[in-house]
């Protein structure tokens, strides 16, 4: 008789690592909607314009997409937190926590939250930039 220790990982493995299915798409959509609603509520509560950090989150977008590309190329291991949706949840949480930290710095020290958020994302993205030397750029050129 299967136990929780073996049954649950098997369900997760067969359901979430099996590629894009209708079930996965619905789950990802629900997660995305929940994140968007939480972010909207957070910005209203903090009284900040979301467009003010548009350029500041570009390094975080690069972080998520480049990490996924490095996983697909075998540079990083394929784990729950490094594939969809785990990776995007993780990067989203890191972005939100970084934003809240930058707002704290802004209110206490007067440091512009847009620049500090950009540099936090840039620093977090640096390892991926270094590891891109392991990627087959010929394949990327064929896609372009």
| pLDDT, tens digit (0-9, with 9 covering 90-100), for 54-96 | 999 999 999 999 998 889 888 899 988 888 778 988 999 999 9
Inter-CA distances, 50 with 27, 36, 45, 56, 104, Å? 25, 12, 12, 11, 16
Closest residue by Cα to residue 75 from 8, 137, 144, 135 = 135
Where is 111: in which H helix or E strand?
none
pLDDT of residue 10: 65
What is the percent of the chain where pLDDT is above 70? 79
- Domain limits at 32? 4-143
Confidence of residue 17 (pLDDT cuts 50, 70, 90): low
Closest residue by Cα to residue 118 from 77, 38, 62, 35 = 62
pLDDT of residue 62: 92
Inter-CA distances, 10 with 24, 84, 89, Å? 16, 18, 22
The pTM assigned to this predicted structure is 0.74
Q: How far apart are CA 96 and CA 101, in angstroms?
A: 9
Considering its fold, how many domains does the chain have in total? 1
CB distance 82 to 101 below 8 Å: no
State the average pLDDT over residues 2-7: 59
Q: How far apart are CA 15 and CA 40, in angstroms?
A: 30
């Amino acid at each position: 008789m299967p136990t929780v220790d073996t049954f649950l990982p098997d369900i997760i493995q067969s359901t979430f690592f099996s590629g894009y299915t209708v079930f996965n798409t619905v789950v990802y959509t629900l997660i995305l909607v929940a994140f968007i609603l939480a972010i909207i509520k957070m910005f209203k509560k903090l009284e900040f314009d979301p467009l003010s950090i548009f350029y500041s989150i570009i390094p975080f977008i690069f972080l998520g997409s480049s990490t996924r590309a490095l996983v697909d190329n075998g540079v990083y291991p394929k784990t729950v937190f490094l594939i969809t949706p785990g990776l995007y949840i993780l990067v989203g949480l890191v972005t939100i926590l970084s934003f809240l930290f930058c707002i704290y710095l802004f209110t206490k020290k007067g440091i512009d939250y847009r620049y500090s958020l950009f540099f936090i994302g840039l620093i977090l993205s640096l390892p991926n930039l270094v590891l891109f030397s392991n990627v087959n750029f010929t394949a990327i050129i064929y896609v372009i």
